[in-house]
Structure 1
C-alpha cells in the first residue's frame, strides 16, 4: 500500500506507535520539532502532560498568521526551517490531527537534512488518502512513518509503523516489543489485514476521491452559509469550522465548539469541538468544530448530500443562537430529517 520495505502492524494505537518511535530513535530529554496542539498537532506531538512533552523537549513551529497571505493558517515552511536551525532537533515531526491542507513532505525532508534531524511523518488522519492517491506519500522522504489504521484508512482501531530503513526498523521493533507492549492483539491484526485488503482494491481509489470531493463540497456549502473554514478550504477529508464568524457576538458569543457539539449530537450529527488557530477560548470550550467525510462517503453520500448536511448543521446552530425553545423545536425536526437521509443510504451490510 505504502510501497515501503518494513512494516510493524503490532501497535495497539497511533499514540503507542509514536511512543515506540520516540523511544527507539531519541534519548530522553532530546529535542524534537512539531506543530503545537492548538494549531492542529496531536497530544503525542509534545503536549506537556503527554509522554512526548514529559520525557522529551518539544519546540514548535507555527502556521502562517498573515491574513493577507494566500497560505493563511497553513504550515510556514520558512518558520519550520528557522526553528530547526535555532534548536537543532533530533527529530522533525510532520503530520497532524486537525490540519485540512496538503503536507509537502519533500520540503520537510530538505529541512531535516539541513539540520541532521530524523524526519518522522504521523499520517494517522490521511493514510487512506495516501493509499488512494489523493495525497502525496511520505515516502521516500520520511525516515519513519506512523499511522492509525482507523480514520481515513477505514480499518479497526490500531497503529502501524513504516520505514525503508532496516536499522530503524530493528530499533522500532525492539522499542515496541518488549519495550512498549506485551502480546500482540491478533484479532485486531486480522482486522487490519482485512482493511489492507480492501485498500488494495481498485474501487478504493474511487472511494478516497469521493471523500475529498465531499469534503470540499461540505466546506464550500458551509462557507456559503456564513461559516469560516480555517485556511479557507480543505485539501483532504477534514475541515475546521470557525463558529465565531456565524455568531453576531463573535468570540464573545454563545456559539462555542462545546455548545455546537452538544446541539448537533442531539440532532443526530456527530462532530467534535476543536480549537482553531489562535483560539482565545479554553481547550474544553473552543471556537470551532471538526468535520470529516469518510463515514458519510462510506454510506454512499455524494456532493448533493453534503450540501444537505451543511443545511442541517446550519439549521441547528442557528436555532441554538435563537434560544432553547427554538433549539428544541428545530433539533427534533432535523433529527427526523437525518434519519430520513440515512435511511436512503443504509450502512454496508444492512
Structure 2
C-alpha cells in the first residue's frame, strides 16, 4: 500500500534522524575534535579556522547533486542552480584577486591543491616535458617535481622530468641567479614558483624574465599565501604568471579544495582556458563537489570585504611577533624572520629534532608540524618545525597574545631538552615514554603536565569560529586532564 502524504516508511526513517542519534560514535569523534581545537593552539601553517557560514555552505544539500562538466555543458540534468553557483564562485574568485575577466579565467572544481597542480601540469605540458620547482628540503612542495635518488615520489616527477632549484644557503633566500643558470642548461618548459615552507615573498618579475628566456610557462602555486595576496599584502603573481593555483583552506580560510587561474592572453598558448578545463575534467577528476564550491564561494565573498585586509595584515603582524619572540631568545629561524604567515624554526643548534618537539607540543596542546630546514638530508627526521599564525589570528589573537604563545613554545623546547636527557637515547619512542609516563627522579613528565594545564587555560579564553563555546561541554571519552 502506498504511503500517505507526510508519512515516512520504516526503511527511510534514518534519513530524517540527526547525527547525534543516527551515529553517536561519529558525533562523539566530532565533539572530541571540537574540544581539542577549543582547548589547544593550532599553529600548523597550512591550517586555518573557517567561518560558520562557510561550514554551513559546505555541509549543505548541494552534496546531493552530480554535475560533471562545466556550466551550460553538463552531462546530467537538473543543474540550473548548480550552474548559477559555479558561475558565482568564478566571479567571486576573480573579484577576490582583483582580476579582469577579459584577461583571466578560473576553474573552481579541483578537489584539492595537489589535484589542481597536477591538472595544471597536464594542461601545460606533454609527458616527459621539463619543469623546475623549488626543492622540497628548501621549502618547496611535493607536487612541484620532488624526487629522491631512489624514487620518484609524486606524479609531477613520474610523468615529467623535473630539476629542483634552491635557496642561497648564505642567506636562505631564493637563488634567482642560480635558477637562471640551471635553466640555461635544463631548458624547462615550465617554471613553478611557490612553496610550503618559505617565509619570504617572491620576485615574480625575475622569474618571468628567466621563463621568457626559454619560452617557458610560469606558474605560481600560492596555496599558502593566497589570502595575503588577495588582501594586497604580498607581491602579485598575476602580473607575471600564465597560471596561478591555490588551495582554499589556508590563508584564504575556506573549505578544503583548490582553484586554477589561467591567463587568457598568454603569449605561449592561445587556448589555456580549454586546456585547463579539459585537464580538470575529464583528464584528472570526475564531477565537482558542489557543496565545497558553495563553501569556496562564501569564503571568497568574505575575502572581498574590507575586513579581510585587516585580517591579513594581522596574520603577518602576528607571524612577525612570533619570530621576534623566538629570535630574542637566541633561537635560529630560517631567513631570521618572515614576510608572510609562517615561521621556519631550525632546531639543529639545540641537538633536537622536529619530530620530538612536534610530539611534545601535541602532549601539551600546541599543534605544530615537523619540517625540513635548509641542509636537511631526511624529510622523515627533519631538523625543524613550521609555525603559522592564520588560525590563531582567526581566534582574535593579536601581537601580545602571540608573544605569550612564543613563551609557551620556548618552555616546550626547554622541556623537550630535559626529556631527551632523561630518555637516555635518541629514539623517539623513549622520548615519548618519559614524556607520558615519567619515572622516579624524573622532572620532565611533571613539567609536561604543568605546561599542558597553562596552555589549555589560555586557549579556552578565545572564541572558536563556528562554535558556541558558551555551550561547549567536555565530550565522553575526554579525561579531566584534556
TM-score (norm 2): 0.69
Match of 2:366 in 1: 269
Q: 3-state SS of the aligned residue for 1:276?
A: coil
CA distance in 2, matches of 1:270, 1:337: 15
Instruction: Name the CA distance, whole Å, in 2 between partners of 1:327 and 1:37.
Output: 34
Larger mean CA deviation between 153-162 and 102-111 belongs to 102-111
The alignment status of 1:2 with 2:106, answered yes or no, reads: no
Counterpart in 1 of 2:114?
A: 15
Distance 2:454 2:255 in 1: 30
Number of residue equivalences: 337
Q: Hey, which bits of structure 1, 4+ residues long, moved more than 4 A?
A: none
Answer whether contact 1:320 1:326 (CA < 8 A) is retained. Answer: no
Equivalence for 1:278? 375
CA distance in 2, matches of 1:199, 1:340: 31
Which structure ranks higher in relative contact order (CA pairs < 8 Å, sequence separation ≥ 6)? 2
Residue 415 of structure 2 is matched in structure 1 by 319
Q: Which of 135, 140, 150 is equivalent to 2:239?
A: 140
Name the counterpart of 1:119: 218
2:262/2:276 contact within 8 Å kept: no
Shift of residue 142 of structure 1?
Answer: 0.3
Q: Distance in 1 between matches of 2:443 and 2:180?
A: 51
Encode CA deviations 1:295-341: one digit per residue, 9 max, x unaligned.
00000111111111111111112112113443322221222212222
Aligned to 1:234: 338
Shift of 1:344: 2.0
Q: Deviations over 1:263-285 (max 9, x none)?
A: 001110001000001114x2111
Which residue is equivalent to 1:38? 137
Partners of 2:262 and 2:292 in 1: how far apart?
A: 21
| Structure 1 residue corresponding to 2:175, chosen from 76, 81, 96 | 76
Distance in 2 between the 1:49 and 1:116 partners?
A: 27
Contact 2:98/2:230 (8 A) holds in 1: no
| Residue of structure 2 equivalent to 1:69 | none
Deviations 1:94-119 (A, max 9, x none): 00111000011111111111111000
User: What does residue 63 of structure 1 align with?
Assistant: 167
Q: Please give the residue correspondences for 1:282-321 in structure 2 after superposition, counting only pairs within 5 Å.
A: 282-321=378-417
Q: Deviations over 1:147-200 (max 9, x none)?
A: 000111111000000022262121010011011111110010000011001111
Ranges in structure 2 where 5+ consecutive residues have no aligned partner? 1-95, 147-151, 266-270, 420-433, 435-441, 469-482
Q: TM-score, normalised by structure 1?
A: 0.94
CA–CA separation in structure 2 for the residues paired with 1:36 and 1:261: 23
Match of 1:209 in 2: 313
Residue 332 of structure 1: aligned partner: 449
Aligned-partner SS, 1:313: helix
- Give the Cα–Cα distance (whole angstroms) in 2 for the partners of residues 244 and 49 of structure 1: 26
Q: Give SS of 1:92's match.
A: strand
In 2, Cα distance between equivalents of 1:320 and 1:278: 23
**Distance in 2 between the 1:108 and 1:330 partners?**
49
Distance in 1 (alpha carbons) for counterparts of 2:250 and 2:243? 20
Distance 1:301 1:285 in 2: 32
CA deviation after TM superposition for structure 1 residue 62, in Å: 1.6
CA distance, structure 2, for counterparts of residue 34 and residue 211 of structure 1: 26
1: distance between equivalents of 2:231 and 2:182?
33
User: What does the per-residue CA deviation read over 1:234-282, in whole Å, with 9 as the maximum and x for residues that have no partner?
Assistant: 000011100123x2xxxxx3x11000000001110001000001114x2
Q: How many Å separate the matches in 1 of 2:448 and 2:255?
A: 32
Contact 1:316 1:330 in 2 (8 A): no
CA distance in 2, matches of 1:276, 1:243: 9
TM-superposed CA distance for 1:78, in Å, is 0.5
Give the superposition deviation at 1:59: 0.9
Q: Distance in 2 between matches of 1:135 and 1:330?
A: 40
Query: How many angstroms apart in 2 are the aligned matches of 1:194 and 1:65?
Result: 41
